[in-house]
Amino acid sequence: MQNQITTIFFDLFGVLLGIDQSVVVQYLSKLTNTPYFKTREITMGEPFMRLERGEIKFKEYLEAIRNTLPNGNRINPDSLRNMWMNSKIGEMPAVSLLNKLLINYNVWVISNTTESHIKSLKSQFNFLEKVNGIVTSERAGVHKPHTNIFKFALAEANCDAINGLFIDDSYSNTESAETLGIISHHYTEFDGLVDFLQKNLEI
């Protein structure tokens, strides 16, 4: 018998919000001769989150990914900066599912970011006011993929691990959540997410 899911936890950046990452990732993947998903994991990972939180400047972000990507020295700073500046943050397709999910499930967000950053985003994106709660790494005192942030989120949502679903675009984060017994989905594209939700939920 399938466990009763009551709560869905979404990652924020890369699942609900993001720049049109495919353009940037495709460019860097081709330029450095690195597989697309590996390029995406590196370029949209922790250095990107630190850039989003305002902890580092673009120059430091660039240095971090150049040092991590194979052939990273091929990246032209001006070309990447121009491409980046022309990519605006916006809602990703998964946001279109929230209203339907909120009818029967609690929906929470878990994000490696600060409270002030979330406050700023709420003024731009209405869906953040509709979700049942938002857990930031600042409030939890620990970043994903550490299991303690998931334990903190479960406690905040008053949810047992077996009654939760977690969606994130970082494999290391979904892997970590799964060690606690949370059914997890590594988000790579929208159709795959819809299939996952249809298999695990009554929608």
Residue extents of the structural domains in the chain: 7-17+90-200, 20-85
pLDDT tens for each residue of 33-87: 999 989 989 998 888 878 877 788 899 999 999 999 999 999 999 888 888 777 7
Q: What is the pLDDT of residue 1?
A: 34
Beta bridge partners of residue 134, listed in sequence order: 109
For the stretch 131-157, pLDDT in tens is 999 999 999 999 999 999 999 999 999
State which H helix or E strand residue 147 sits in.
helix 147-157
> What's the whole-number mean pLDDT along residues 116-132?
94
Query: pLDDT at position 86, please?
Result: 72
- At 32 the pLDDT is 96
Please tell me the distance from the alpha carbon of residue 192 to that of residue 45, in angstroms, as a whole number.
Answer: 20
pTM of the model: 0.72
Q: How far is CA 64 from the centre of its chain?
A: 19
The answer for residues whose C-beta is within 8 angstroms of residue 42's C-beta and 6 or more apart is 34, 65, 68, 69
Per-residue confidence at 14, pLDDT binned at 50, 70, 90?
confident
Angstrom distances, CA of residue 66 to CA of 11, 41, 50, 125, 161 = 25, 13, 16, 32, 38
Topology of domain 7-17+90-200 in CATH is Rossmann fold (3.40.50)
What distances in angstroms separate CA 188 from CA 21, 67, 114, 192, one per listed residue? Answer: 11, 24, 25, 7
Classify residue 180 as exposed, middle or buried by CB count within 10 Å of its CB (0-12, 13-18, 19+). Answer: middle
End-to-end distance of the chain based on CA atoms, in angstroms? 18
